[in-house]
Amino acid sequence: MLNKKEQRLRRSRQTRERIAKQGVARLTVFRSNLHIYASVISGCGAKVLATASTAEKEVRETLSGKGGNAAAAVVVGKRIAEKAKAAGVEKVAFDRAGFAYHGRVKALADAAREAGLQF
């Protein structure tokens, strides 16, 4: 029997295989209880092009509470979109890393879309 983390990792492997065939940059998300992290990784998977998280000092200063809520995810989504566009990435594949697409993960994705990333 797989535990909760192993189930999530199994789902994330399936997603990564599908995205690798597309050959586009991927926007990957990791969430912990306290923070949420986002990275844009090149199509070949060899290079991290941009990162944003609630652990960054500039982001923490703008948050009213901790980084483990949907409002914080929106801030990170906008920030990752700005950094990705600055790195020359307009189109990405969204890699939710096995996490369910709701709550903080959905808030981050919607904010990144609004800020101009296409996926």
Using a 10 angstrom Cβ sphere, with 0-12 exposed, 13-18 middle and 19 or more buried, the burial of residue 43 is: middle
The 10s digit of each residue's pLDDT in 63-88 is 888 888 999 999 999 999 999 999 99
Entry pTM: 0.91
The 10s digit of each residue's pLDDT in 32-54 is 999 999 999 998 878 999 999 99
pLDDT tier for residue 111 given thresholds of 50, 70 and 90 = very high
**Domain 4-114 falls in which CATH fold?**
Nucleotidyltransferase; domain 5 (3.30.420)
Instruction: Please check whether residue 26 is in contact with residue 95, taking contact to mean a CB–CB distance below 8 angstroms.
Output: yes
CA torsion angle 31 37 42 48 (round to 10): -130
In degrees and rounded to multiples of 5, residue 82 shows phi and psi of: -60, -45
